[in-house]
Amino acid sequence: MSNPSKPFRSHALAGSLLLLLGVLIIGVGWVVPSRFKSVPFGVVREAGQSGESLSERGRDLLLDGNFGAARLVAEASQELGEAKASLLLSQVSMELEANPQLARWGAWDPFLEAALKDIPLDSYSSEPGVLGILLAKPCRSSVANLLGNSKNPLVKDLLATGEFTTYRRLFPVSSTSGRPLEVTLLGLGLLAQGDHFTDSLRSELRGLILDAKATGSIGSLEDFYLDSLSLMRAFDWGQLKEAFAKLESADALKRLRFLLHRKSGQKALVFAMSLNAPELGDLFSYLEDFGDLGFERLQSALGTGVEGYELALREQLPIEDEALEDSGSVVSKIQVALSPFSLRNPQLSLGIKYSSFFIGSFVALWGVSLFGRFYRETVSPALAFTQRFFGATASVLIFAVLSEPYLSASGSFEGYNFSFVMPVLTQVAGEIQIVETTSTTSMQPATLLSIAFFFLLQALVFLICMLKVREIEKRELDPLVKLKLMENEENLFDSGLYVGIAGTCIALVMQVINLVDHNLLAAYSSNLFGILCVAIVKIRLVRPYKTKLIMASEEQIVSLSQKS
């Protein structure tokens, strides 16, 4: 006599093994340090350690004789906690103490040397930066005489704009309040004479000057001068020429000024970030998306090394908190060990992660289905495969949300808008008022992901209902029996509505307890898809087939009655 518990035990054992295997495969995907909407800090750190540190970049500037830029980079390195920062700062200090003039200039320059060689340091202004070098009358006169003999077309054009009378916030050089404009033009003239402009910025500046001469509209040119004056106050000569060597446009100059104003207490970090960005536009785009939080994460990335910082700018994605990587758990240790692989193979790593989620979920659902074999009805292989396939796909979306810390929070970043409102400049120390707004988008990725998830669930419900109808249709049974079976499946055909209501309720509860961002569109889309799914199932699948069965039953009844 056969033991009826044997099939159950064998199914339970197979189900347990498949469930365990599926969970292990999902765990493999979980620990892979690769993300779709963020960059794990371990990957950034691995990239940073493979290249130069910020202190080493600062030492290169020191060896090049740019002591001002080296000093700011060393201060930024010290703020980031680099071990070599103190040594670099002491070396810079020694060099500056040995040469007081370079301590004021920041770096030697042949044209500054030619203009100011006979002017003692005591004659300089007490204002900071390049502004303090050029503001005193003896310094202005000497530099003006030097640039007045220049054959450089851009220098001539710059000096010629000093007497324009259409300025709204600046005053002509010859007026009693013309010192700010004169200092600005002299500083820009020295940059042009020393060829410290990028080609694109030089062309744009000449275009602004030519347009101002032709049309008298000087607004854009005046904005450029005000932004330049602000940088001259913040940087010494060595730092200023390094900054302008990175600027590709007047808009980049405006954005750099905005950043210096907003992060006025972190000038060294702003300078180091600007200097080491492959393209300044990448830095500004990142901050435009992620704002103050993005600045903090870039600061952490720069602390790992220049290559890690460049990776963050290249990816343009939020960087995960290093605390997630340094928790000391087994998972974090495995992620650190896998970081080199993810760094070298980012797309393959991401593919392995999400493939593991899908395969693991598929195997786990297969294992779960075996536990109920002893009491469940037998379903076709196609229906069983479809259920597991769509269940695994839905699980991938769930695991994506759980494993991506910034996926559901993609709309919560307050990025910089880089918008300005300029007041009238009445003195050199005048500052620009900055107005910030939060950039918004019409629909965030997290919302699209939620809608896609609810749509996928309803697609699964529709496919299951369709396969059930096909399964009943293929059975060798009388039409009346098939009709009774169809009526028995009414709850299944209404399941889309149940799933839709449940999805909406769960989404609203999660929003109330602040597990996800508040978004009614994402929540009510579940209910909407449920209504549409049930309508399509009932009208396009169930009703036509029931009509067919009723007609076949009627014919069968008529034929039986005629025989009797």
What are the tens digits of pLDDT across the range 336-373? 788 888 888 888 988 888 888 889 888 887 887 776 54
Q: What is the mean pLDDT of residues 86-90?
A: 91
Task: Give the sign of the dihedral formed by CA 30, CA 34, CA 39, CA 41.
Answer: positive
Q: Flag whether pLDDT at 213 surpasses 50.
A: yes
State how far the alpha carbon of 283 is from the alpha carbons of 127, 299, 320, 451, 547, in Å: 29, 12, 18, 32, 65
CB-based contacts of 531, cutoff 8 Å, min separation 6:
496, 497, 500
Q: Flag whether pLDDT at 7 surpasses 80.
A: no
* Higher local confidence (pLDDT), 230 or 10: 230
Q: At CA 450, angle to CA 445 and CA 451, rounded to 5?
A: 100
Residue with the two structure tokens 């929540």: 523
Confidence tier at 429 by pLDDT (50, 70, 90): very low
Element spanning 319, H or E: none
Long-range contacts of 281-288 (CB under 8 A, 24+ apart): 281/248, 281/252, 282/313, 282/314, 282/316, 283/313, 284/252, 284/255, 284/259, 284/416, 284/418, 285/316, 286/312, 286/313, 286/316, 287/259, 287/415, 287/416, 288/415, 288/416, 288/417, 288/418, 288/439
* Higher local confidence (pLDDT), 507 or 53: 53
**What pLDDT sits at residue 439?**
42
Phi, psi for residue 434 in degrees, rounded to 5:
-115, 130
Confidence tier at 498 by pLDDT (50, 70, 90): confident
**What pLDDT sits at residue 242?**
92
**What pLDDT sits at residue 453?**
74
> What is the b/e burial string over 434-455, where b = at least 16 CB atoms within 10 angstroms of the residue's CB?
beeeeeeeeebbbbebbbebbb
529 CB burial (10 A radius; 0-12, 13-18, 19+): buried
CB-based contacts of 563, cutoff 8 Å, min separation 6:
none
Query: In this predicted structure, which of 60-74, 266-280, 496-510 has the lowest mean pLDDT?
Result: 496-510
Measured distance CA(121)–CA(439) in Å, rounded: 47
Tokens of 391: 């269940």
Confidence tier at 172 by pLDDT (50, 70, 90): confident
**What pLDDT sits at residue 254?**
92
Measured distance CA(397)–CA(390) in Å, rounded: 11
Residues above pLDDT 70, as percent of the chain = 84
Q: What is the mean pLDDT of the chain?
A: 81
Written as one letter, the residue type at 393 is: T
**What pLDDT sits at residue 216?**
79
Tokens of 157: 């054009």
Element spanning 178, H or E: none
What are the tens digits of pLDDT across the range 249-287? 999 999 999 999 888 889 999 999 999 999 999 999 999
